[in-house]
Structure 1
Amino acid sequence: MQRTRQEAIDGLLPEQREQLILTRLRAEGRVLASALAAELQTSEHTVRRHLRDLADQGLCKRVYGGALLASPADKPAAVRMGEAVDRKARLALAAVSIVRPKQIVLLDAGSTNVAIAAALPDHADLTVITNSPEACARLLNRPGITVILIGGRIATGAAGSVGATALLQVQQIRADLCFLGACALDPDEGVAAFDAEDAELKRAMIKASGQIAIALTSEKLMTAAPFSVAPATAVDHLFVEDDVPAARLAKLKAVCDNVEVARS
């Protein structure tokens, strides 16, 4: 005789409950302890214990009322540079559509932003200021692009300059547009990074720029990272991939001024 869904839930072992929670996190990005407790017919205390165990494994980040999926962007920069190259190139082509001639563009470090550097138009009389040596290399000797490289200590994870020197230089900039790197973005939790100095520099970049744009691969959406950068409402232009579910896209459009889908 086939068991009912409720009987199946009642018979779950603790490790099976934890796996179900992880599956839900991967599907939805965010879970609420109260809703899980009701669904699993268990206490919120038990659900929070499962979330704590998942967080200890680096699989999620606990937030008020529940948890967010942990961003997968905590990888060495050399690894990230070789991942999803074609997808990042499509995002870059969409992102550079907002660039106008004679602008001062502040370009943060990050593999997607390196793709944006390569996609910037020639002969547009642009000044591009970047803390990314990789992005700088893509821009050298390009006609109509003046490049300024921000100095400082190169952070291994971010593959860009961070620290006091970089921070001071960014604070002296007044840019028209900033392409900000983001390790994670959630409509409620905002933009986040994995490194404290990197997060501090990103906050300075936001303050130094007239408009903020982020181009983000889908796996970073509705995820969390340890250091907060800014609320999602600070993002003027968000570029996402065409596989983002409609419900998730609606949540992003509710907090970001302009959300554009990069089509294949």
Structure 2
Amino acid sequence: MHDSLPLSRRHEIAGRLRQGQPVSSGELAREFGVSEDAIRRDLRALAAEGLCERVYGGALPLSPAGAPLASRAEEQPAAKAALAARAAELVQPGQTIFLDCGSTTARLASHLAAHLPQGSGLRVVTNSLPAATALSSRQDISLFLLGGAVDPSIGGCVDGRALAELPRYAIDLCLLGACALSPDGTLAGFDRADSDMKQALLTASGATALMMTSDKLGTRAPFPFGAARALTHLILEHDAPAEQLAALASTGAPDPLRAAPPRS
């Protein structure tokens, strides 16, 4: 039996949540030899500290993707580059694609700018300033930027004007971003307007691909916008945890496409 002093117990539970592990009230109560009421008090305190979101029977870690884009842009560069390279294989000549806001989709824009063959006839619609900037040097790509007010924390336009412009484009493939993907297959974000845009993209696009680093799997965020089963493609890291993949398989999510191992 572990030390069941409340602060020591709470510290250990917090450590597991920081590592991205969901926790069960019943299992923790048995492990620490305390009542489920005691564990629920611990989880309420940890939720108040922003370390988790309480769910029936336990708690889930919050996604680490709640920070502004500027602070996330340089995180996990090798993993994001590998995801972007895998996603680029889905892009076909002559398509109209949408690049959503997000640090991984910005990596994809840079990858396309550097590696897409000349004369592809590609049309790119985006609400992401970093993505538009990366592609602006390619004169052979038709580039369209949704208008509206720029949200610096997101790195693009997600207000009502941007949302209203979306139906003007027939999108063959959307490369979507998401802050969290919970074990029940719920996609979610930390900004309501951004989540509204992602929900509209899921509905409007002929096909939708989501790139996601492993630290977002099995996590929650405040604003749900869709279900993983609505995706056409799910692109994950080469070593995505087996337990997360098993949980996703039961939600109707598409079989994941694995990125290549990042180059050292």
Whether these two folds match at TM > 0.5 is yes
Aligned length: 256
Q: Is the 8 A contact 1:252 1:259 kept in 2?
A: no
- Structure ranking higher in strand proportion: 1
| Structure 1 equivalent of residue 40 of structure 2 | 48
| Structure 2 equivalent of residue 3 of structure 1 | none
Q: Is the 8 A contact 1:90 1:263 kept in 2?
A: yes
The residue correspondences of 1:184-263 to structure 2 (distance < 5 A) are 184-188=180-184, 190-254=186-250, 255-263=252-260
| Structure 1 equivalent of residue 173 of structure 2 | 177
SS in 1 for 2:101: coil
Determine the C-alpha separation between the residues in 1 that align with 2:185 and 2:50.
Answer: 18
What is the aligned-residue RMSD (CA, Å)? 1.7
1:118–1:28 CA distance, 2 compared to 1 (3 A): closer
2:137 is aligned with 1:141: yes
Q: CA deviation at 1:53?
A: 1.0
Q: CA deviation at 1:25?
A: 2.9
Q: CA deviation at 1:34?
A: 2.2
2:12 is aligned, of 11, 14, 20, to: 20
Q: CA deviation at 1:189?
A: 5.0
SS in 2 for 1:52: helix
Q: Is the 8 A contact 2:4 2:34 kept in 1?
A: no
Determine the C-alpha separation between the residues in 1 that align with 2:4 and 2:55.
Answer: 25
Determine the C-alpha separation between the residues in 1 that align with 2:88 and 2:191.
Answer: 27
Q: Is the 8 A contact 1:182 1:193 kept in 2?
A: yes
| Structure 2 equivalent of residue 153 of structure 1 | 149
Query: What's the CA shift string for 1:199-241, capped at 9, x where partnerless?
Result: 1111111111011111111211111111111112122211111
Q: Which amino acid in the other structure matches residue 234 of structure 2?
A: L
| Structure 1 equivalent of residue 97 of structure 2 | 105
SS in 2 for 1:82: coil
Q: Which amino acid in the other structure matches residue 99 of structure 2?
A: L
SS in 1 for 2:93: coil
SS in 1 for 2:89: helix
Q: CA deviation at 1:252?
A: 2.8
Give ranges in structure 2 of 5+ residues lacking alignment: none
SS in 1 for 2:169: coil
| Structure 1 equivalent of residue 27 of structure 2 | 35
Scaled by the length of structure 2, the TM-score of the pair is 0.91
SS in 2 for 1:258: coil
Q: Is the 8 A contact 2:20 2:219 kept in 1?
A: no
